Amino acid sequence: MSDVVIKVENLGKQYRLGSVGTGTVSHDLNRWWYKVRGKEDPYLKIGDVNDRTQRGESDLVWALKDINFEVRQGDVLGIIGKNGAGKSTLLKILSRVTGPTLGNIKVRGRIASLLEVGTGFHPELTGRENIFLNGAILGMTKNEIKSKFDEIVDFSGVERYIDTPVKRYSSGMYVRLAFAVAAHLEPEILIVDEVLAVGDAEFQRKCLGKMKDVSGQGRTVLFVSHNLQAVSNLCNTGIVLKNGRVETYGNIEDCVKSYIISSRNTTLINVSNSNRLKRTNGNVIFEEVKAVKNNEECWEFNYDEDICVNIKVKVQVEVDDLSFYLAIKNPFSGEIISNFKLVISDKKLEIEDCLSFSVIIPFKTIRPGQYALYFALGDAGTKIFYDVVDENVNLPILNINPVSMDVHENSGFVTLPIKIQY
């Protein structure tokens, strides 16, 4: 017997913007008439791609188009992509919340879905009653639910409120109980959308541990999250969705790398963006921050290459001294890998003065991976910041063919031998 538990073939989902159905009675009749004659739906030949960055020409949009993949028993499939890429639509179709417009889905096994906070819960019922209700929806008998009841309540951490109507629960309590029910009633397939972000850090760790246990028991997990660290640690296979289509499918490491490279910012700083100056006084501003390789702009480096960032700053008012700050973070967890501070001018700077310098991170001093850079200008004495670039600007350092991994292989904070050239 095949171990494939989910098979998706040529899946498509089309929506008409602002309308239910195809929009008019005549269109619905036209669609029905084509169907009874065995002809293709005429409205499936039109429709815009699911791209929110462009103004479409049609009011028909393909939320998903030409989706094909298989999930085997025991796989943990990570589904990643930008907001609006079609992730939640795909999970709703797999959970039979909505039907596909095109294509076939074959599922073998009972599915438990946690698509949004409070999925399958009735707000007027207590937590205790909702456990039995949700279990019944999943096809469990009353005795089966009773046998798991104490485990569910203990895992959720809401024992004190178990006889309180869930409409009085916070969103975090809601999702705690909902996940506990979905994970403990032993479905063959567990589908989890981006709801764990509602919970606190301790509960997220418990959930990820539980999903690992579930997969270790031979059951299948489909996991949607923007936390790439969690996806990388939990999943063994992945799908990257972009504009409603599969961009990458296969090994989770390849999928995460593909998603990061396709979605990163290639322009580090937008000097016309005043939002960054609203939180600082703007006495000195970044005019340009640009990573370069061989004198050309580049945001992708190999392990055995120096990382060079050229920086230009402009003085807006007279300042007595000027310090430059650099922080390198793990974009998945937000953990600071290294930081750096340098006084770049200890004399008074005049209005319209400009300074240029380069920050160099020597090769093989930072392990291959994905990093986020943060820059700041400030007064070292008063700790007043003049300008800050703290958007998550990703700098990929690809593990293409590292000669060795003998430097800073451990995680955590490290002191890097960063150099400054004027």
| DSSP character string of 85-149 | SSHHHHHHHHTTSS--SEEEEEE-S-EEEE-STTTT--TTSBHHHHHHHHHHHTT--HHHHHHHH
pLDDT of residue 192: 85
Q: Which residue has the tokens 């986020």?
A: 372
Average pLDDT over residues 162-189: 85
Sign of CA dihedral 267, 270, 271, 275: negative
pLDDT of residue 198: 66
Full-model pTM: 0.64
- Give the DSSP H/E element, type plus range, for residue 280: none
- Give the DSSP H/E element, type plus range, for residue 332: none
- Give the DSSP H/E element, type plus range, for residue 26: helix 25-36
Quote the CA–CA distance of 210 and 58 in Å, as a whole number. 44
Asked whether the predicted pLDDT for residue 109 surpasses 70, the reply is yes
Average pLDDT over residues 7-34: 72
Q: Per DSSP, what are the bridge partners of residue 13? A: 64
Q: How confident is the model at residue 331 (pLDDT cuts 50, 70, 90)?
A: low
Quote the CA–CA distance of 141 and 110 in Å, as a whole number. 14
Average pLDDT over residues 361-383: 78
C-alpha 169 chain-centroid distance: 26
Question: Which segment of 82-96, 230-244, 306-320, 359-373 scores lowest on mean pLDDT?
Answer: 359-373
pLDDT of residue 42: 61
The DSSP secondary-structure symbol of 198 reads: G
Higher pLDDT, 277 or 179: 179
Q: How confident is the model at residue 20 (pLDDT cuts 50, 70, 90)?
A: low
pLDDT above 70 covers what percent of the chain?
76
Cβ neighbors of 289 (< 8 A, separation 6 or more) are 268, 269, 309, 310, 311, 312, 375, 389
Other beta carbons within 10 Å of 24 = 10
Q: What is the pLDDT of residues 196-228, one digit of tens each?
A: 666 677 777 788 888 888 877 888 989 888 877
pLDDT of residue 332: 60
Higher pLDDT, 279 or 125: 125
pLDDT of residue 409: 40
Q: How confident is the model at residue 388 (pLDDT cuts 50, 70, 90)?
A: confident
Q: Which residue has the tokens 């963006």?
A: 273
β-pairing verdict for 102-107 and 419-421: unpaired
Quote the CA–CA distance of 30 and 21 in Å, as a whole number. 12
Q: How confident is the model at residue 334 (pLDDT cuts 50, 70, 90)?
A: low
Q: Per DSSP, what are the bridge partners of residue 388? A: 376
Average pLDDT over residues 90-115: 85
Q: What is the pLDDT of residues 286-329, one digit of tens each?
A: 888 888 888 887 767 777 788 888 888 888 888 888 888 888 87
First CA to last CA across the chain, in angstroms? 67
Q: What is the pLDDT of residues 38-88, one digit of tens each?
A: 776 666 655 555 555 555 556 677 888 889 999 999 899 999 988 888 888
Quote the CA–CA distance of 85 and 244 in Å, as a whole number. 5
Question: Which segment of 51-65, 95-109, 133-147, 363-377 scores lowest on mean pLDDT?
Answer: 51-65
